Structure 1
Amino acid sequence: MLDAPSYHAIGAMVVTIAMFVAFARGRMSTEIVSLLTIAVIAVGLYFFPLPHTQPTDGLALAFSGFGHYALITICALMIMGRGLVVTGALEPFARVLERVFKFNQTIGLLVSLAMAFVLSMAVNDTPVLVLLIPIFVSLSARGGMAASKTLIPLNAAVLIGGMATTIGTSTNVLVVSIARDLGMPHMSVFHFTPIVLTAALVALPYLWLVMPRLLRDNRGEEVHAERRFVARLRLGEDSALTGQELGTVLPRLPSDIEFHDNPAGPLQVQQRLTISGTHSALEDAMRTLKGEVAPSWVIDRIRRKSSETGEDIAVVEMTVTADSRLIERTLPSSGIADLFGVAVLGIHRPKTLLGERDHYSEGGDLRIAEGDVLLVMGLSENLESFARGDSLLVLEGKRELPRRSKAVLAAAIMVGSVGLASVGLLPIAISALAGAIMMFVTGCVKFDRVGRALSAKVIVLVAASIAIGRLIGDTGAALWLGQALALGLQFLSPAAVLAAIMLFVTLLTNFASNATAATVGTPIAFNIAQQLGLPAEPLILAVLFGCNLCYATPIAYQTNMLIMGEGSYEFKDYIRTGVPLVLLMTATLSVLLVITYNM
């Protein structure tokens, strides 16, 4: 016979359900709901303390999440992931991916899914997806597979990959840390990787061949394409074009690079060619042809000053207003580099007007007109001075150039930190903290940019989730729920028990928060194992896997929200593609856990 729960246990369950409902309704931000939850726990336990405790003990419980080593580890991993992004360490993978897509779209999608899966095993899901989204949007704009057909499968591959290691997602770190608090043995980085790899092989055909067919081509609803900029490319001394015909190197360039002149004969050193393309395409062209689209002396000066001051180089778009002195001037005659120390990389103008000869000087340079958009590179102070001095309107979309000189270093720090944890030489908390410190010391991540690496939403959500987890444990709510669930699960097979736990946690994670579902589900699964006499580890892993099966709603995980706008998705798109994947993964993982643990 199941006894009634204590008043404290009832209160803990009410607070937990209220938090779930608040997250699901979405009327308040995640940060507000998390902070309110912490406040309710602190105030409630102060006036109604737990038996044999002092009122101040409730305050310690409510705010314990902010000092928990799981949160510290998550923050350190975010910092290291930021280091990979700002140094461009992942860009070589992006360029390889684009070449494969040009060869064959179907094979390109398969390679993309595999690459996303592998990367997210070591790097937090969000930076991996942030890097890959622009590639797929760009491929769609160039006539490739629609972004709306690729982004949801790609997101699913990233989430499955993140499930494969204890550091793949912040949720995994949270579940493992709570399990250790409950007395479970330590789990290494790759402790359950074989199980997830096997399940991924089952899920991959669905992601690759079925999911894209369930999604519409939303290209007609997507936002306008990136701006294209006209630039004069000057060939350098070691340019691959020198001594060759233009046609021989065209296959090596981005497909959206267009040449506006057709020089006769082999190309010469310092020869200037008029080209146009997106900012990323211009960067690829400069890298491939070893040329510059702005005077090399000003670019060298910008880089040298950036190195001396430690300030990042930024690229911004500026619109020429009617009051600007630049109107009717060309870039060589404008004196921009001398006056302001910035480099104009290109000029955006409607393509229909680019061919008109009266818009060009005798030297072939485009004359600046009102409404043109300039792509300008420089340091922040110089960019602001240029905008004020020449009556330019700075547009949104400023981005900092990757510090590529530190890309190898950032990658080495990440590999070293993961390697030390994976072989058991250091706990993941220590290796992640050491890696984050190294990112700071070496300049891969700067102290004044930590705010961009850390997510306030994640921090307060994890802190609130840890507090909720402790609350339901200390009040006896987890024990009571475990007893209640055990009564219903005692007649089921071990595989059915695992599937039921996994589906229960999956339901929570898709309508609330995976971090919260983890902190609620982990102690419940531990108590169910004790009640049914089953090994605790597979039930804990069922919770961990269930928390990562967040494919069925856009609110289930932050990467789901990242792709929603880019793919013009609706809520039903996630349900249509995500529910079958949840069922497939639940059945596969449950069977694999039974086989692995001889249940």
Structure 2
Amino acid sequence: MTWQMLLSLGTVLAVLATLACSRIAPDVILVGALAFLMVVGVLTPAEALSGFSNPGVMTIATLYVVAAGLKETGAIQWLAHRLLGQPQRLRQAQLRVLLPASGLSAFMNNTTVVAMFIPAVQEWAGRLRLPPSKLLLPLSFAAILGGTCTLIGTSTNLVVDGLLQSEMNTHLAMFELAWVGVPLLIVGGGFLYLFADRLLPNRQGALEQLETAREYAVEVSVLEKGPLVGKTIAEAGLRNLSHGYLAEIERHDHLLTAVPPDTELQAGDVLIFIGAPECARELRGIHGLRPAGGDVRKLDIAHHRRCLVEAVIGPDFAGLNQSVRESRFRSRYQAVILSISRHGKRLPGKLGDISFQVGDTLLLETAQDFVDQYRYRKDFLLVSALNDSTPPDFRKAPLALGILASMVLASASGWLSILEAALLAGGAMLATRCVPASKARRYVDLSVLIVIGASFALGAAMTKTGAASQIAQWLMFRDDLAPWLALALVYLMTVIFTELITNNAAAVLMFPIAIAMAEQLGVSYMPFTVAIMFAASASFMTPLGYQTNLMVLGPGGYRFLDYVRLGAPLSLIVGTTAVVLVPVVWPF
């Protein structure tokens, strides 16, 4: 093994470990690896930067503008409200979610589809008295499966197609993947329809928990030298309030929970009451109490004078693993946290001492400009029904859908390449003012594009130094290894990489390995590369493997095991179906 090969393998392993085990942003890690390989001479500058000129990467960038037009005009919302309907049973509701989500995801970014469906499904489930936990994870999985049906359904498909164009001088047609994608959608969707109700818990999301909880959390403190000092809770008349109950006492930085009625009150005690709106008025009538810092936290989400936003903490949130107090959340974001939900449960105790984790769902009281400022940044995934400050221009929704249909038709018929059709569609969205240029610019996710473009450098280094061929030899543990088994190994490795790192990076890293395995077996590379497309999208077992899975974590009130319970059998079914069908459509 040459030093260049060893250096390339070491860099790939370091990137994988850092992506899986650290909180460093993926684009920073990948650009660092790109720079290292270029500086040490493994790659030339042209080779290292070739990914940023790849047709697949540029197509993804252009489709962000198309998706922006669909979102700003409310086209998906417009369709969702018409397709969801008024089902009478849970099974019918699940079908009403699975069909439109998978269908729309075949033609546009599934993250956008899920982001627009979440508030619609939440409102819809509340109105029909259905548990959102039975609907939102199937929504995410259906969007993932739907994205495998066309070339533009996921960014992963476009990335691998871009590699095929640049490395192998070939490409896939718009609906070529449908030969396997549609059966996968039928099999996977059928599994979700039959078993999601049984395997998913009947659990409330963050907003539903708050709606069924008491309306206020009121903090009051015991006055020094006041009449309540030294009295027990019962003696002070705090045991049997008409409109609330004493939940906790904060005393000298300690939190006392499940407080017995014979507990004596001390000067400076902060009493936390949970109750109805009248609870605050009732407490004001008790001599010896005063508002703690003047802060009465109202949790009634129907209040029209306040802007309430539900936000899911993302991997790039600046205060991860810090407490609310340490992160200076209020001064940094100009927002007050009303409640924090984790794994479907509202976290009890003092808010200031709770440490933030990825996937935590915050209910915030804030000014309206918070939404404008942070919906384009990666600190949060805003998924509440109040996440847009201005209503969509529904009058242009049919126009935006017409532009999307024209793009698909032009590409599928062979009149234009996918990149050319996407460029024209993006331009049409801007020209017709479906989305203003200023907003379209902010919709383009540069961090994702940087990750994809920089990942190409790792793939180029593995191919150039022979590291990909070496890994392929290690995977082929037998000289007479059957192509079907080799295909299954490639699929399995891609799935593992996808669950650990980003799906696009996994696809780019596996591409040269798959090509090398096909060469060593003396068979066609097409089934291997197509298998990577499906495997890189098949992330069902963790909330962090795919962004849509993370987006439904808080709103659905899910826990990690919920993903495993439903996602593991779905991954097995989808993987088996893909490995069987891919060689039938693209023979070895």
* TM-score w.r.t. length of structure 1: 0.67
Counterpart selection for 1:521 from 510, 526, 535: 510
Closer, same or farther: CA 213–540 of 1 in aligned 2, 3 Å: same
- Distance between the aligned counterparts of 1:446 and 1:374, measured in 2? 29
Closer, same or farther: CA 480–30 of 1 in aligned 2, 3 Å: same
Closer, same or farther: CA 159–74 of 1 in aligned 2, 3 Å: same
- Distance between the aligned counterparts of 1:543 and 1:440, measured in 2? 34
Counterpart selection for 1:408 from 398, 410, 414: 398
Judge conservation of contact 2:179–2:585 (CA < 8 Å) in 1: no
> What is residue 36 of structure 1 aligned with on the other side?
32
1:139-218 equivalent positions in 2, closer than 5 A? 139-142=124-127, 144-218=129-203
1:220-369 equivalent positions in 2, closer than 5 A? 222=207, 223-225=209-211
Q: What's the Cα RMSD here?
A: 2.6
Q: Deviations over 1:225-278 (max 9, x none)?
A: 59xxxxxxxxxxxxxxxxxxxxxxxxxxxxxxxxxxxxxxxxxxxxxxxxxxxx
Judge conservation of contact 2:540–2:568 (CA < 8 Å) in 1: yes
Q: Which runs of 5+ in 1 are unaligned?
A: 51-56, 227-349, 354-370, 377-391
- Distance between the aligned counterparts of 2:366 and 2:486, measured in 1? 62
- Distance between the aligned counterparts of 1:117 and 1:111, measured in 2? 11
- Distance between the aligned counterparts of 1:431 and 1:105, measured in 2? 40
Q: Which runs of 5+ in 2 are unaligned?
A: 213-275, 280-297, 308-364, 372-387
Judge conservation of contact 2:507–2:536 (CA < 8 Å) in 1: yes
Counterpart selection for 1:68 from 51, 54, 61: 54
- Distance between the aligned counterparts of 1:121 and 1:403, measured in 2? 24
Judge conservation of contact 1:554–1:571 (CA < 8 Å) in 2: yes
1:539-578 equivalent positions in 2, closer than 5 A? 539-578=528-567
Judge conservation of contact 1:489–1:497 (CA < 8 Å) in 2: no
Counterpart selection for 1:533 from 509, 519, 522: 522
> What is residue 67 of structure 2 aligned with on the other side?
81
Counterpart selection for 1:440 from 418, 426, 430: 430
* TM-score w.r.t. length of structure 2: 0.69
Closer, same or farther: CA 131–501 of 1 in aligned 2, 3 Å: same
> What is residue 482 of structure 1 aligned with on the other side?
472
Q: Deviations over 1:252-309 (max 9, x none)?
A: xxxxxxxxxxxxxxxxxxxxxxxxxxxxxxxxxxxxxxxxxxxxxxxxxxxxxxxxxx
In structure 2, what residue type is equivalent to 1:444? Answer: C
Alpha-carbon shift at residue 479 of structure 1 (Å): 2.2
Alpha-carbon shift at residue 33 of structure 1 (Å): 2.0
Q: Secondary structure at the match of 1:189?
A: coil
- Distance between the aligned counterparts of 1:220 and 1:458, measured in 2? 28
Q: Secondary structure at the match of 1:142?
A: helix
Counterpart selection for 2:496 from 471, 484, 507: 507
Closer, same or farther: CA 83–147 of 1 in aligned 2, 3 Å: same
Judge conservation of contact 1:153–1:212 (CA < 8 Å) in 2: no
- Distance between the aligned counterparts of 1:466 and 1:425, measured in 2? 29
Q: Deviations over 1:556-591 (max 9, x none)?
A: 111111111211222222222212111111111111
Judge conservation of contact 2:77–2:117 (CA < 8 Å) in 1: no
Q: Secondary structure at the match of 1:399?
A: coil
- Distance between the aligned counterparts of 1:598 and 1:508, measured in 2? 25
Judge conservation of contact 1:465–1:516 (CA < 8 Å) in 2: yes
In structure 2, what residue type is equivalent to 1:159? Answer: I
1:394 maps to 2:352? no
Q: Deviations over 1:157-206 (max 9, x none)?
A: 11011011111111100011112222153210111202111122222221
Counterpart selection for 2:453 from 456, 463, 476: 463
Judge conservation of contact 2:524–2:587 (CA < 8 Å) in 1: no
Alpha-carbon shift at residue 523 of structure 1 (Å): 1.6
- Distance between the aligned counterparts of 1:220 and 1:71, measured in 2? 36
Runs of 4+ in 1 over 4 A off after TM superposition: 220-223, 350-353, 395-398
- Distance between the aligned counterparts of 2:24 and 2:467, measured in 1? 26
Alpha-carbon shift at residue 352 of structure 1 (Å): 9.0
Alpha-carbon shift at residue 490 of structure 1 (Å): 4.4
- Distance between the aligned counterparts of 2:129 and 2:157, measured in 1? 35
Judge conservation of contact 2:58–2:419 (CA < 8 Å) in 1: yes
- Distance between the aligned counterparts of 1:159 and 1:94, measured in 2? 17
> What is residue 261 of structure 1 aligned with on the other side?
none
- Distance between the aligned counterparts of 2:584 and 2:54, measured in 1? 34
> What is residue 123 of structure 1 aligned with on the other side?
108
Judge conservation of contact 1:147–1:219 (CA < 8 Å) in 2: yes
Closer, same or farther: CA 220–420 of 1 in aligned 2, 3 Å: closer
- Distance between the aligned counterparts of 1:92 and 1:401, measured in 2? 12
1:52-63 equivalent positions in 2, closer than 5 A? 58-63=44-49
> What is residue 282 of structure 2 aligned with on the other side?
none
Closer, same or farther: CA 393–189 of 1 in aligned 2, 3 Å: closer
Structure with the bigger percentage of helix: 1
In structure 1, what residue type is equivalent to 2:46? Answer: A
Alpha-carbon shift at residue 393 of structure 1 (Å): 8.0
> What is residue 373 of structure 1 aligned with on the other side?
304
- Distance between the aligned counterparts of 1:189 and 1:375, measured in 2? 46
> What is residue 588 of structure 1 aligned with on the other side?
577
In structure 2, what residue type is equivalent to 1:131? Answer: M
In structure 1, what residue type is equivalent to 2:79? Answer: F
1:426 maps to 2:416? yes
Q: Deviations over 1:487-531 (max 9, x none)?
A: 325434333222221111111011111111111111211121111
- Distance between the aligned counterparts of 1:26 and 1:567, measured in 2? 26
Judge conservation of contact 1:31–1:456 (CA < 8 Å) in 2: no
Closer, same or farther: CA 425–178 of 1 in aligned 2, 3 Å: same
Alpha-carbon shift at residue 78 of structure 1 (Å): 1.1
Alpha-carbon shift at residue 86 of structure 1 (Å): 0.5
Closer, same or farther: CA 490–505 of 1 in aligned 2, 3 Å: farther
Alpha-carbon shift at residue 480 of structure 1 (Å): 2.1
Alpha-carbon shift at residue 596 of structure 1 (Å): 2.7
Judge conservation of contact 1:105–1:144 (CA < 8 Å) in 2: no
Closer, same or farther: CA 597–59 of 1 in aligned 2, 3 Å: closer
